[in-house]
Amino acid sequence: MDFEPSEEQQLLIDQVRRFVREEIIPLEAKLDPDAAELDPADHARLVEKTKAMGLFGIDIPKEYGGPDIDIVTRVLLAIEMAQHRAGLYVPCYGTFGGAGLAQIFEANEDQKERYLYPTLRGEKKAFFGLTEPSGGSDPARAIQTRAERKDNGWVLNGAKIFISNADRAQYGIVFARTDASKGRAGITCFIIDSDTPGFHVRRVVHTLRSSHYATELEFKDCWVSDHQVLGEVNKGFAVANDRLTRQRIPYAAGCIGVAIAAHEMAIEWAKMRSTFGEKLANRQAVQWMLVDNEIDIRTAKHFTLEAAEKARRGLPFRIEASIAKLTASEGGGRVVDRSMQIHGGMGMTKDLPLERWYREMRIRRVGEGPSEVQRMVIAREILGSNLR
């Protein structure tokens, strides 16, 4: 596979790179080191710029008004968009827009009118409710939230945890067990309005991300109609699984972008910083750390582009997506760690973005499926058997 960007892709890469360096980073320098939002006026101004670039709504399919870019191009742009302080989890502070929850594109026409189109217009926000207190690594078996038939609908009882944006969303996609005898074949996906009786945000869950928090949700005799079922009854896990697998590719790309930025900082610092009368760049210990950075970045980039290319061609990409997520999250974390070490004490301060990347990269080894699960997926694929 040829991973060199085409001329058209390179033009887009250069556009986004300039946007980050000329628009995002100067604004970011004036914000709190853990900020996750721009001033509304700045955000609105930059949205107009991304619209003029033809890249607003970057994750929205073309048929719904999004830009006509494939997943390989999306990965290349995601790498660029992540290269600033908040870039790992808030690439360009959302000024390129987004599609919200990908599953909503699979909704029926009535659901699209009530949820998809208002989301695309920016009138509604959504959350994704899969992980439960009983565990997130094996959602098919860990889901204990139950949905039972009642009055031409379903009554949900249970809880979800580590759910982002649930306290600010108008609706969410929630997975519940509808047939206890069928394992992953007994899970259904529901669309739940936030004002539905019996649903509420139980508490805020703080994490390593100082600017962001997750929530814990509770469902207590929460009734929804059959019209709120997304897809088919007992086939909800396929909806979740498709999202988790495909999302691992741009998720990996964000890790690569941060790693590249950290590596570039380390190189620049090593060239200018002297200790005991010698530049750090001339010390073998530092040189080898930079070499290891380069290897980790190139490895992750190769595997991520391979996964994206297979997805673009419509080929199976499950194992490639897991390898991409694994190498990018673990390798990217190592790159940030080495870059902090090269910077010494300055690397630990909030004067530089390294300490924020260090905290947030640690989360990436768990998000979208922890490293251990990725290894299980890869092992199952290469052995051709179901490992339990």
The residues carrying an active-site annotation are 368
- Residue among 259, 255, 248, 242 nearest 102 (CA): 242
Would you state the structure tokens that stand for residue 184, as one six-digit string?
A: 């992953």
Specify which residues 191 forms β-bridges with.
Answer: 173
Which ranges of the chain would DSSP assign to H, the alpha helix? 7-19, 25-28, 40-52, 71-81, 109-111, 117-120, 139-142, 236-272, 284-313, 318-343, 354-364, 371-383
For residue 112, give the DSSP letter. Answer: I
CA distance 270 to 335: 14
Q: Supply the DSSP symbol for 366.
A: T
Side-chain-facing half-sphere of 21: CA atoms under 13 Å: 8
Closest CA relative to residue 60, chosen from 5, 116, 20: 116
**Residue of 61, 334, 95 lying closest to 87 (CA atoms):** 95
- The answer to whether residues 23 and 88 touch, using CB atoms and an 8 Å cutoff, is no
Q: How far apart are CA 259 and CA 269, in angstroms?
A: 15
Buried-state track 258-275, b at ≥16 Cβ within 10 A, e below 16: bbbbbbebbbebbeebee
Identify whether the C-beta of residue 227 lies closer than 8 Å to the C-beta of residue 91. no
Q: What are phi and psi of 255, to 5 degrees?
A: -65, -40
